[in-house]
């Protein structure tokens, strides 16, 4: 297998996930055609001006397959690391391997034991060490797996966008808080009203993007994606170091 990068596909899938993450962050920003926008209006006689923060639910729907793409590519990258381990171990056993996603320690041990015949004890130890290192974050990794499974087999899991506050800095520093849960039922929030138009300046919005898990509990999506990306990147690096240690001298 000299000259073959066994982790190439895992790396490509990881980079594809990062591309989708950038796409997600771009479309969920503030501006025309994005998830959030500022709408300025005036009364017919021009005496009263207002400014509203607007949520575009069509963009919210369009974000669903992007989230699925991120989750799928990260999960697939882990599966390809398992495949790379099988190819390197060259145990003579064929078959498709899946990275052992599970919160239960006994279940994990059983799944890993079944994989060890395919990948060998050294790779099994590497996978165990990665799991142990990220033990506090396993629920986030499990949520990523759930998003991926549902996207492939049942439904695209919808996201829930919310905003906590709007702030701007001209002529003074202003912060307007938005009631919790406001955008669960409303598409707009008026944060300015007065005799003059709202200043033509940039506005900072404190936003949140949440997703519902299996127990109908809403969780922040970004920690799920960030933690999962860190885990995958770390495992690719550890796998690369392991492969390098097996390379013949010179």
Q: Distance between CA atoms of 213 and 221, rounded to whole angstroms?
A: 10
Residue closest to 7 by CA, chosen among 75, 97, 80, 76: 80
For tokens 């395919």, the residue is: 118
The separation between CA 220 and the C-alpha centre of its own chain, rounded to angstroms, equals: 10
Residue closest to 221 by CA, chosen among 151, 158, 165: 158
Task: Compute and round to an integer the Cα radius of gyration of the chain.
Answer: 24
**What residue ranges in 179-217 does DSSP mark as E strands?**
188-194, 204-212
Q: Where are the alpha helices (DSSP H) in the chain?
A: 8-27, 57-89, 105-133, 138-153, 221-246
Show pLDDT as tens, one digit a residue, over the chain (250 residues).
445 899 999 999 999 999 999 999 999 999 999 999 999 999 999 999 999 999 999 999 999 999 999 999 999 999 999 999 999 999 888 778 899 989 999 999 999 999 999 999 999 999 999 999 999 999 999 999 999 988 888 888 788 999 999 999 977 889 999 999 999 999 999 999 999 999 888 899 999 999 876 665 678 999 999 999 999 999 999 999 999 998 765 5
Give this prediction's pTM. Answer: 0.90
């Amino acid at each position: 297998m000299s000259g073959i990068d066994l982790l190439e596909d895992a790396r490509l899938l990881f980079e594809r996930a990062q591309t989708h993450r950038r796409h997600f962050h771009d479309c969920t920003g503030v501006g025309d055609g994005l998830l959030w926008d500022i709408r300025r209006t005036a009364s017919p006689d021009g005496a009263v001006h207002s400014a509203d923060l607007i949520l575009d639910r069509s963009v919210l729907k369009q974000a669903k397959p992007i989230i699925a793409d991120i989750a799928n590519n990260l999960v697939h990258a882990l599966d390809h690391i398992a495949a790379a381990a099988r190819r390197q171990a060259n145990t003579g056993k064929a078959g498709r391997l899946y990275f052992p996603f599970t919160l239960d320690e006994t279940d994990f041990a059983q799944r890993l034991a079944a994989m060890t015949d395919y990948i060998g004890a050294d790779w099994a130890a590497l996978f165990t060490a990665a799991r142990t290192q990220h033990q506090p974050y396993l629920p986030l990794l499990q949520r990523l797996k759930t998003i991926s499974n549902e996207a492939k087999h049942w439904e695209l899991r919808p996201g829930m966008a919310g905003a906590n506050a709007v702030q701007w800095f001209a002529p003074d520093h202003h912060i307007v808080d938005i009631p919790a849960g406001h955008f669960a039922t409303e598409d707009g929030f008026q944060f300015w009203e007065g005799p003059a138009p709202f200043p033509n300046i940039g506005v900072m919005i404190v936003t949140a993007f949440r997703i519902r898990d299996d127990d109908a509990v809403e969780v922040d999506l970004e920690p799920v994606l960030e933690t999962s990306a860190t885990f995958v990147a770390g495992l690719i690096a550890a796998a690369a170091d392991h492969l390098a240690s097996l390379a013949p001298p010179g």
